[in-house]
Amino acid sequence: MRLITFALLVLAATSTGALAHSKAEQTTPANEATVASVDVIEMRFDDPMRVTAISMTGPDGDVAIARETGMDAVTEFRALPPAGLPDGAYTVDWRGLSSDGHPMQGTFGFTIAD
């Protein structure tokens, strides 16, 4: 019985890393940053992520952004906002599937100000 308990503990300890979910490690613009303008929205993940949806809202409501990265699992995702965004607060919401197949989501925000 002790051998089985020990084996289960070892299995649990070694499999935890395999069950870790991908996460956004860095965004451009950085979360809560104040910037003069935005040319690209980027997210970098620690493991490949298939970003299935991305949206952006600003001071005037929804902002149309164009995916530059397709639907493949990637460690760096890019989307392009329209040129000349007005000053104000913006929020980016995303959803995806991590490399282990689990659904993930996140949000980050930034402010444009001259």
pLDDT digits (tens, 9 = 90+) for 24-67: 689 999 999 999 999 999 999 999 999 999 999 999 999 999 99
Are 54 and 76 in contact by the 8 Å Cβ rule? The answer is no
Of the chain, the percentage scoring pLDDT greater than 90 comes to: 75
- Reported residue count of the chain is 114
- Look at residue 9 and tell me whether its pLDDT is greater than 70: no
Q: Which architecture does CATH list for 23-112?
A: Sandwich (2.60)
- Look at residue 19 and tell me whether its pLDDT is greater than 90: no
Of the chain, the percentage scoring pLDDT greater than 70 comes to: 79
Lowest mean pLDDT among 11-25, 29-43, 60-74, 96-110: 11-25
Q: What is the DSSP string of 15-58?
A: HTGGGPPP-EEEEESPTTEEES--S-EEEEEEEEEEEEEEEEEE
